[in-house]
Amino acid sequence: MIVSNDASNKFLNRVQVVPLTTRVERVYPSEAAVVVKRRRSKAMADQLTTVSKFRLLNRAGRLTDADMRAVEGALRIQLGL
């Protein structure tokens, strides 16, 4: 999922992303349980990375506000904010 700010996303050719996985047996503090297209997933803030926009092919879905807050909490833990 893209987590970089809209202003940067507009002008730069790269974005910051938090990878998602459907392996949800364990969810650590630096991860957040989310639902994408009615499928349980987790956002792995401990694997925050920057990628070229050219690598983004398809939109997988949109997170609810509650899921976005959960990801924000995981990012705060991971980054020590």
Domains along the sequence of the chain with CATH: 6-79 (2.30.30.110)
- pLDDT at residue 62, rounded to an integer: 87
- Using DSSP, state whether 10 is helix, strand or coil: helix
The string of pLDDT tens digits covering residues 23-43 is 999 999 999 999 998 999 999
Question: Is pLDDT at 74 greater than 90 in this prediction?
Answer: yes
- Amino acid at the residue 73: G
Which has the closest alpha carbon to 3: 70, 35, 33?
70
Question: Is pLDDT at 60 greater than 90 in this prediction?
Answer: no
Residue 61 pLDDT level (bands cut at 50, 70, 90) = confident
pTM, entire model:
0.85
